[in-house]
A and B are shown apart, each in its own frame.
Chain A
Amino acid sequence: MIRFFSLAISALALCSAPLAAQDIVITGATLAKGDGSDPITNATVVVRNGRVVAAGSDVIAPAGVPVLDGTDSWVTPGLFASITNLGLVDVDAVSGSNDVAAGDSPFSAALDVAPAINPAAQDFGYSRAGGVTRASVTPTAGSSIFAGQGAVIDLGSDYDAVTRPRAFQFVEMGERGARLAGGSRTSVYALLLNALREAGQYGDDAQLRTAGRNGSVDTGDDLPLDSRLLGRAEREGDVLLTRFDAAALVPVVRGDQKLYVAVHRANDILSVLGLRDAFPDLDLVLIGATEGWLVADRIAAAGVPVITGALIDLPESFERLAATQSNVGRMVDAGVTVAIGGYESSGDHPRNLPQQAGNMVALNNVPGATGLSWGEAFAAITSIPATIGGMDGRAGVLAPGAHGDLVIWDGDPLEVGSAPVRVFIDGVEQPLDNHQTRLRERYRSLDESQLPPAYRR
């Protein structure tokens, strides 16, 4: 158990002004840096002015900073949760509280989650209490294959959640994309290529016009492209994107904004990788990639990272027939950069990321299966998703210069019985109370002989 601290933890639900960063020194703890290395014992971590200064077994605690005794505790960077709905929803089935998809919107790629993210939503607090300090938030595709632009956030108890708006564009390919695009995968590719071409032209001209300048294109075979398929559409009515949607895709075409592509089937993955033949600057990230292990060498060769759920092992659809819990391990062994993230059912929430990662470690002992080492598994929910999210070296890792995001756990963080004891973001200690903890305390006793539970606060 934790032996240190008398520091009072604020029970305030949400502070309007950010709390002050404090200098932190923790000694004697088991340290997992999040960088893929194995945990080390009896380590020291130093955070000053909101940034990590040092972390390791040979670190000398600086003088003049109060020291927390971390004996019997674990210290890690905060978890980085990928592909979440954090702040976009209170109750999934209550539409008024749910901003995940905009199925009736005239816009698609232009949609931007940043202004919608509500740090007071309970899932924020639950996830923070589970050790999640940063995350990517993405919309879900509604009326188009383009879901819109996701953000990278921190889970600090303030109203300044968004650290990087428009961090990526999200597009649905595969079966779901096919349905959204008009009923077939063929339509997905026609729609996507058209949109990217429009965006490319839009970027050149900063406007859409009704007249085209169609250049010649070498197709590599003896079938020339009809000139009307090139450049922007000839007539206003042919344009499938609004001006705002086309504008939103400009940085995608240029490679300035990542393109997250949800795709599962092996051959669909290869088709997506092939998009770079026509649009070489695309900065792709594969989302899902359930059959990724079948083409792992080619994903690795393309240098495209993957974000996937770790425990998907059922042929949920015909694009996932080869689903296996060994998908992550096999891709990692092939040299693919893989983060664990994304959610498959009502029961999966960001705070259960360690459970998914821990299962990857357990898999190592199953003959025929491919798992991860402890360090690899923990990196898959810390530094690797942070890097994919554009925060390489700054989040998900306890290294000098990184954000002072620390979680102190009462045991091995990948073990289901463990939980965070204290959470810091940018060196600021975070409140861990929320709706659930308040209910827990209210109903600790069912004695209502004096007054009903409504009076227990």
Chain B
Amino acid sequence: MTRHIATRGPVTAFVAIAAFVLAGCTTAAGTERPAQASAPPAGDASAAPYASTYARYPGTPTAVVGATIYDGAGGRIDNGIVLFADGEVVGIGGADLAVPAGYTRVDGTGRFITPGIIDIHSHLGDYPTPSVQAHSDGNEATSPTTPEVWAEHSVWPQDPGFSRAMANGGITSLQILPGSANLMGGRSVTLKNVPSRTVQGMKFPGAPYSMKMACGENPKRVYGGRGRAPSTRMGNFAVNRETWLEAQDYMAEENPDRDLAMETLAGVLDGEILIQNHCYRADEMALVMDMAREFGYQVSAFHHAVESYKIADLLRDNNVCSAVWADWYGFKMEAYDAIPENAALIHNAGACVVIHSDDANGIQRLNQEAAKAQADGRRMGIEIADADVISWITLNAARAMGIADMTGSLEAGKMADVVLWNGDPLSIYSRPEMVWIDGALMYDMNNSAMRPVSDFELGQPGEGDVK
């Protein structure tokens, strides 16, 4: 497959890859249901199974006036206006932007607007709370490669964590990944963060699938501990390479029998399914990029990439994003060299940074994590503008998830996924005040009726509390 070599920054690099992975998607989300981006191979009768049934909720044409706007793509407008209607952003601009008749005006004075916050790495629904064994649905840890499993078949839409992510974190879209026990953990699912009775009702229309891969300690520990391969890092690679060879053989067959695992892997090699690769160490990421080259696929993002700062140039040149925490470190050997300046160093080298959570608590504060990472960079002399830092949790996440032409920034025609913050989102003292998803108001800090309560919480201590 074609590789896109960056010559400028990560933004430039990603225009190419985003267009590439989204080929074939329709984009009018909210108004019609796009075709599944990752349809099984041609001739398969089961195209687009478990299709999204999400449709945007009603909203009124809205003008948020007087706020400081971070557009998610690196732009900042002081005393700006955001217009949205019929689920889409109509326009953004300065104080002189005309507000059409019939728009509800929301006073944004002293407040800030960002695109909806996006978490590229979540296990909400797959590891919901309460975290009891009966809810442990995130790792099909029975074989080192399980490309056949789909995370959406584990998601419990009643996970109370979804509402916390929206109310406290402004999360409007999130990618649910299967866990990292396996080298190939299965397909992810991208969700709109709306309460729903079914997972199909949350599925982000038109979002491509990703496949989760994991290198390093987890697979070798899980399977080595059972006396089977892989038990070493070299075992990890051997099993991966054998599996990719199997996929190539499958793709070479004229009319293969249906094989769910191979359908996923073929989707990756066809470029329709993205790769989200759990990988901590720099040396290991470099090897994975070589493996991707060997078999002809592209890693979209390395997740938990605590050592990306050591190879930021390589990551830039290979158009691979790093989805990182601000400052997690030390909990396992491969996290021992984590440093809080990681994100800033990656960004400074011209590579793509995404701040992720992998955590039901952390997803509620991605804005604060981004601010910490920015400040750590500043102290070592790397100045990164606030507007660029916001892109770490909006547009860059969307790019690495293949949904950047639909959401992730505030521009006309994109989904009206919008957060109004009661202060600077990069300050500890700020909170989401209102959250719109596809132009529908889904959370309002000042209206307790606009705070979703999951089925699980009904009649329980603390029901309906601000949480």
Please give the residue numbers on chain A whose beta carbons come within 8 Å of chain B beta carbons, in ascending order.
Answer: 90-94, 122-123, 126, 266, 291, 294, 311-318, 320-326, 344-347, 349, 352, 355, 358-359, 361-363, 365-369, 410, 414-419, 435-436, 439-440, 443-444, 446, 453
Contacts and interface: CB of A to CB of B under 8 A. Distances in A.
B428 A92 contact: no
Give the one of A92, A315, A355, A363 with max B CB within 10 A: A315
A346 B331 contact: yes
Contact of A92 (B313, B325, B330, B341): B330
A322 B375 contact: no
A271 B320 CA distance: 54
Interface of B: 129-132, 160-161, 164, 168, 217, 309-313, 325, 327-333, 335-341, 345, 349, 359-362, 364-365, 368, 371-372, 374-376, 378-380, 422, 426-431, 445-446, 448, 456-457, 460-462, 465-467
Nearest to B344: A440
A89 to B, nearest CB: 8
B313 A446 contact: yes
Contact of A361 (B313, B341, B428): B428
Contacts of A321: 130, 457, 460-462
B112 to A, nearest CB: 14
29 contacts: A93-B217, A93-B332, A123-B330, A312-B361, A313-B467, A314-B161, A315-B129, A315-B462, A318-B130, A321-B457, A322-B465, A324-B465, A324-B467, A325-B466, A326-B465, A326-B466, A345-B361, A362-B431, A365-B431, A415-B427, A416-B368, A416-B372, A416-B426, A416-B427, A417-B374, A417-B378, A419-B376, A440-B341, A446-B310
B429 A362 contact: yes
Nearest to A318: B130
Given A325-B467, A419-B376, A446-B311, 15 more contacts: A92-B332, A93-B331, A126-B329, A311-B361, A317-B129, A318-B130, A321-B457, A326-B465, A362-B429, A362-B430, A367-B445, A367-B466, A443-B309, A446-B312, A446-B349
B429 A361 contact: yes
Contacts of B426: 416-417
Contacts of B371: 416-417
Nearest to A434: B339
A416 B337 CA distance: 22
B461 A266 contact: yes
A122 B312 CA distance: 25
B445 A359 contact: no
A318 B345 CA distance: 42
A445 B338 CA distance: 17
A366 to B, nearest CB: 6
A314 B375 contact: no
Q: List the 6 shortest-distance A-B pairs measured between CB atoms, nearest first.
A: A322-B462, A358-B428, A322-B461, A417-B375, A93-B332, A346-B331
Contacts of A346: 328, 331
A92 B331 contact: yes
Nearest to B312: A446
B331 A316 contact: no
B339 A439 contact: yes
Given A367-B446, A416-B375, A417-B426, A345 B330 contact: no
A419 B331 contact: no
Contacts of B359: 345, 347
Given A92-B332, A317-B131, A416-B427, A443 B345 contact: yes
A347 B339 contact: no
A355 B457 contact: no
A146 to B, nearest CB: 25
Main DSSP-derived SS at the B contact region: loop
B361 A314 contact: yes
| Interface majority SS (helix, strand, loop, mixed), chain A | loop
Contact of A91 (B330, B361, B375, B466): B330
A56 to B, nearest CB: 26
B175 to A, nearest CB: 19
B258 to A, nearest CB: 39
Contact of A436 (B130, B329, B368): B329
Contacts of B376: 419
Nearest to B359: A345
B368 A355 contact: yes
Contacts of A446: 310-313, 349
B466 A315 contact: no
Contacts of A126: 329
B119 to A, nearest CB: 14
Contacts of B160: 314-315
Of A355, A417, A418, A444, most buried by chain B (CB within 10 Å of CB) is: A417
A315 B135 CA distance: 13
A72 to B, nearest CB: 15
Given A291-B461, A294-B461, A314 B164 contact: yes
B428 A359 contact: yes
A440 B380 contact: yes
A456 B374 CA distance: 25
B130 A417 contact: no
Nearest to A129: B340
Contacts of B131: 316-317
Q: Considering residues A322, A416, A417, A435, which has the most beta carbons from chain B within 10 angstroms of its beta carbon?
A: A416
Contacts of B365: 311, 355, 359
Nearest to B461: A322
B456 A315 contact: yes
A419 B325 contact: no
Contact of B380 (A94, A266, A320, A444): A444
Contacts of B164: 313-314
B225 to A, nearest CB: 13
Given A358-B429, A362-B429, A317 B130 contact: yes
A317 B448 contact: no
User: Which one of A91, A312, A443 has the highest number of Cβ atoms from chain B below 10 Å of its Cβ?
Assistant: A443
A122 B379 CA distance: 20
B130 A316 contact: yes
Contacts of A345: 359, 361-362
Contacts of B372: 355, 416-417
Nearest to A357: B428
A91 B331 CA distance: 5
Nearest to B340: A436
A98 to B, nearest CB: 10
B360 A314 contact: yes
A366 B431 contact: yes
Contacts of B429: 358, 361-362, 365, 415
A445 B312 CA distance: 10
Given A91-B330, A91-B331, A91-B336, A323 B428 contact: no
Contacts of B461: 266, 291, 294, 321-322
A415 B333 contact: no
Q: Which of B311, B339, B428, B466 has the most CB of A within 10 A?
A: B428
Nearest to A294: B461
A31 B310 CA distance: 39
Given A315-B130, A321-B462, A416-B368, A93 B333 contact: yes
Nearest to B325: A347
Contacts of B339: 436, 439-440
A316 B81 CA distance: 40
B132 A91 contact: no
Nearest to B332: A93
B291 to A, nearest CB: 22
Nearest to A314: B129
Contacts of A439: 309, 337, 339
Contacts of A362: 428-431
Nearest to B428: A358
Most chain-A CB neighbours within 10 Å: which of B359, B360, B445, B467? B467
Contacts of B379: 410, 419
Contacts of B132: 317-318
A368 B427 contact: no
A446 B462 CA distance: 52
A355 B310 contact: no
B428 A91 contact: no
